[in-house]
């Protein structure tokens, strides 16, 4: 199986979300094969889950500090993006991904766990689906854990969320290399300075190489899914749709605030 790997580098917040959705649309329509995208953020940014309240963050602080705030197409809780590897994966609900959300989520997490283990980071995966998965009522993504998620030393290492349609899905995730805990507490209005439920790779691994890890992710996906990932760039149609989505959705204040989006941006 020939799949795509897109390494987008560091991009603007609204564009990151728009391109992820544009790729998912193309994959669902059959215009592109299953696609793994790896990317970063050009400046520190906040992403909210698609149904999350804007009041969960200090939006005034974000405005003062010029921290962009975007709303993801996927669910879950807020993430302060900075020094990290962010990923998205889009595929149709068929073949390897014909099962439910949990099984798909687990398979993708397994690939990342394999990449981390191969890079010298000992990890564990949550295999229980029972209730009680949420650690806290925090609005922060990394303060909760659920089935299939990857942890290290008892703390969450990857934060992921998924959006499913009848014909396909989009999964987005964040793997922090380092964490600005002070900024995170300020943005998410956390007064408690107790130990966090999250951990960053550079707290575990002293000699970390970002580029080597991305290669490990590629190798792990190919091994896990028995595919070949071909390095490509987004198609012209995907770039055009991403630009439209930036204009009408992800760069639109009404979407960010959680108001109903315009019908023209429903794909």
Domain coordinates in residue numbering, the chain: 2-265
This prediction's pTM: 0.90
Question: Percent of the chain having pLDDT more than 70?
Answer: 88
The 10s digit of each residue's pLDDT in 190-242 is: 887 666 789 999 999 989 999 999 999 999 999 999 999 999 999 999 999 99
Superfamily of segment(s) 2-265: Bira Bifunctional Protein; Domain 2 (3.30.930.10)
What does the pLDDT read at residue 124? 93
What does the pLDDT read at residue 133? 43
Average pLDDT score, the chain: 89
Residues tagged active-site: 141
Long-range contacts of 236-242 (CB under 8 A, 24+ apart): 237/26, 237/31, 238/19, 238/22, 238/23, 238/25, 238/26, 238/32, 239/19, 239/22, 241/18, 241/21, 241/22, 241/25, 241/26, 241/267, 242/15, 242/18, 242/19, 242/21, 242/22
Eight-state DSSP code of residue 244: H
Mean pLDDT of 119-148: 60
Residue 8 has pLDDT above 90, yes or no: yes
Using 50, 70 and 90 to split pLDDT, how confident is the model at 263? very low
Residue 143 has pLDDT above 80, yes or no: no
Residue 64 has pLDDT above 70, yes or no: yes
């Amino acid at each position: 199986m020939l799949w795509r790997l897109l390494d987008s580098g560091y991009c603007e917040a609204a564009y990151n979300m728009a391109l992820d959705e544009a790729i998912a649309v193309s994959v669902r329509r059959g215009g592109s094969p299953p696609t793994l995208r790896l990317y970063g953020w050009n400046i520190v940014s906040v992403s909210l889950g698609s149904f999350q309240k804007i009041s969960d963050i200090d939006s005034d602080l974000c405005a003062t500090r010029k921290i962009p705030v975007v709303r993801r197409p996927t669910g879950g809780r807020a993430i302060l993006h900075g020094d990290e590897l962010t990923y998205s994966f889009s595929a149709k609900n068929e073949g390897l991904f014909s099962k439910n959300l949990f099984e798909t989520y687990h398979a993708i997490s397994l690939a990342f766990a394999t990449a981390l283990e191969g890079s010298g980071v000992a990890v564990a995966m949550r295999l229980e689906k029972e209730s009680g998965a949420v650690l806290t009522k925090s609005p922060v993504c990394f303060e909760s854990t659920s089935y299939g998620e990857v942890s290290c030393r008892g703390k969450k290492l990857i934060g992921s969320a998924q959006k499913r349609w009848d014909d396909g899905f989009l999964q987005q995730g964040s793997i922090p290399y380092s964490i600005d805990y002070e900024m995170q507490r300020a943005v998410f209005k956390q007064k408690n300075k107790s130990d966090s439920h999250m951990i960053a790779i550079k707290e575990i691994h002293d000699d970390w190489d970002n580029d080597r890890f991305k290669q490990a992710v590629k190798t792990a996906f190919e091994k896990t899914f028995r595919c070949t990932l071909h390095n490509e760039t987004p198609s012209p149609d995907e770039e055009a749709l991403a630009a439209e989505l930036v204009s009408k959705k992800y760069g639109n204040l009404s979407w960010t605030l959680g108001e109903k989006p315009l019908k023209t941006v429903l794909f």
